[in-house]
Amino acid sequence: MLPFIKVGGESLLRLDAESRSLLFFGTSLRIEEFYLFLVAVLIFVFAFLFVTMLFGRVWCGWLCPQTTLGDLADWIDRRLNRIGVPLLPQLLRQVSYLAISFLVASNLIWYFIAPADFAARLVAGQLGAVAGISLASVAVLVYLDLAFVRRSFCKTVCPYGRIQLLTMERSTLTLEFDPRLKGECLRCGACVRACPTGIDIRDGLQIECINCGRCLDACRGVMEKRGRDGLIHYTFGTAEQGGGTPWNRRSMLFAAVLVLLCGIFAWGVGHRSEATLKVQRSAGGEVKRLPDGVANFYAVYLENRGTRAARYDLEAGALPGYRVELIGPVRGLEVAANANRRVDLVLKVSPAPAGTSRVPLKLVREGKPVAEAQLPVLAQ
């Protein structure tokens, strides 16, 4: 639900297609600043490796949307199975799946269209072809997942679980049945019945295990009735391998890389320009000779990268030995938040310079220069 959380009036995380920018935790990143987004992706990748190295498949068991949807569908099934009216549970089950599918698909679209705008456009039938097809496609996929797939995906084709197993090591947090207590097992099958992926934890570490801990709770519930502790527990490393400590040379190296990337990202965000200034010669590159000098024509593009509207001024720098003057709308230029504005102006230089010169053009906000470009001055 990140699109609903707002910072400075904008979503916490959303890709705004209209302005070609990424709203990222209070910062607006234009397309030319996506190198910061790439750093954020690297942070995510190393955070994934670091967390997996320490805590194993904690994502699969506790945070994965697939697990969450599967648990929700199971809960709905259990409640509806209590209804004794024929066919009604099946009907309500499918309606519930469709409602969940639409909500999940809408949540994806909210990362591209603000939630309030999405609702209004959906009711008016003006969602657009791309958004509409995406909404329908995701809704159908989620419905098929809820109705037919669920945790079969986790057990068979999920690439994330396989990658996690590759990053796990001797000291990774693992859910295991202690083989030293095998003789105390009552063989009641409670752990197998509680497992959402249908595995037997007593057979050792398996790729289908998602570390959800349900077998641990089931075993503990059975053994507590006999005044004993459960036979399943979390441990950093398996007992057969001697266990270990989560803080070792490898994990500290990943932690150092993660801290470094976070520092680079923070520095990049903190030193990014609040505005940019780009200059192009007007179409045809027209130069006009004047009795006392020369006039050059330009198209200047202002970009406000901030989250609030701002007012700017344009000021021309000095050209030693010449008098320079900006002609056109150069004062009190209003630019909306995260928007661009084109300004057509003329630079008059007296007397006409010999050859080509350059005049600095400054973008000023509240008396402070925030961006600068160069105006190439042609004599003819």
Q: What is the pLDDT of residue 137?
A: 96
Looking at the structure, tell me whether residues 328 and 370 fall in a common domain. Answer: yes
Query: Tokens standing for 132?
Result: 């509409």
Q: What is the pLDDT of residue 244?
A: 63
Lowest-pLDDT range of 12-16, 149-153, 280-284, 304-308 = 12-16
Q: Please, what's the largest Cα pairwise distance for the chain? A: 106
Contacts of 127 (CB under 8 A, 6+ apart): 113, 118, 121, 135
Mean pLDDT of the chain: 85
- Confirm whether 134 is domain-assigned: no
In the predicted model, is pLDDT for residue 48 greater than 90?
no
Looking at the structure, tell me whether residues 209 and 291 fall in a common domain. Answer: no
Domain around 360: 275-377
Q: What is the pLDDT of residue 319?
A: 87
Amino acid residing at 341: R
Among 153, 147, 137, CA closest to 104: 137
Looking at the structure, tell me whether residues 280 and 241 fall in a common domain. Answer: no
Instruction: Give per-residue pLDDT as tens, 313-351.
Output: 999 988 888 999 999 999 999 998 778 899 999 999 999
- Confirm whether 209 is domain-assigned: yes
- Confirm whether 42 is domain-assigned: no
Higher confidence at residue 270 or residue 194? 194
Q: What is the pLDDT of residue 76?
A: 95
Rounded to an integer, the average pLDDT of 278-291 is 82
Among 362, 368, 353, CA closest to 319: 353
Looking at the structure, tell me whether residues 208 and 279 fall in a common domain. Answer: no
Looking at the structure, tell me whether residues 234 and 279 fall in a common domain. Answer: no
- Calculate the CA 371 to chain-centre distance: 29
Amino acid residing at 334: E
Looking at the structure, tell me whether residues 280 and 224 fall in a common domain. Answer: no
Are 58 and 167 spatial neighbours (Cβ–Cβ below 8 Å)? no
Q: What is the pLDDT of residue 292?
A: 87
Q: What is the pLDDT of residue 101?
A: 97
| Residue 374 bridge partners (DSSP) | 360
- Confirm whether 211 is domain-assigned: yes
Q: What is the pLDDT of residue 242?
A: 53
For the chain, what is the domain count?
2
Could you give the CA distance from residue 79 to residue 126 in angstroms, rounded to a whole number?
37
- pLDDT band of residue 69 (cuts 50, 70, 90) is very high
Task: Determine what percent of the chain is predicted with pLDDT higher than 90.
Answer: 35
Higher confidence at residue 232 or residue 20? 232
Q: What is the pLDDT of residue 7?
A: 64
- Confirm whether 357 is domain-assigned: yes
Lowest-pLDDT range of 17-21, 92-96, 118-122 = 17-21
Residue 297's CATH number: 2.60.40.10
- Confirm whether 155 is domain-assigned: no
Are 311 and 365 spatial neighbours (Cβ–Cβ below 8 Å)? yes
- Calculate the CA 111 to chain-centre distance: 9
Among 249, 231, 255, 118, CA closest to 180: 231
- Confirm whether 322 is domain-assigned: yes
- Confirm whether 177 is domain-assigned: yes
- pLDDT band of residue 112 (cuts 50, 70, 90) is confident
Rounded to an integer, the average pLDDT of 106-110 is 91
Looking at the structure, tell me whether residues 313 and 361 fall in a common domain. Answer: yes
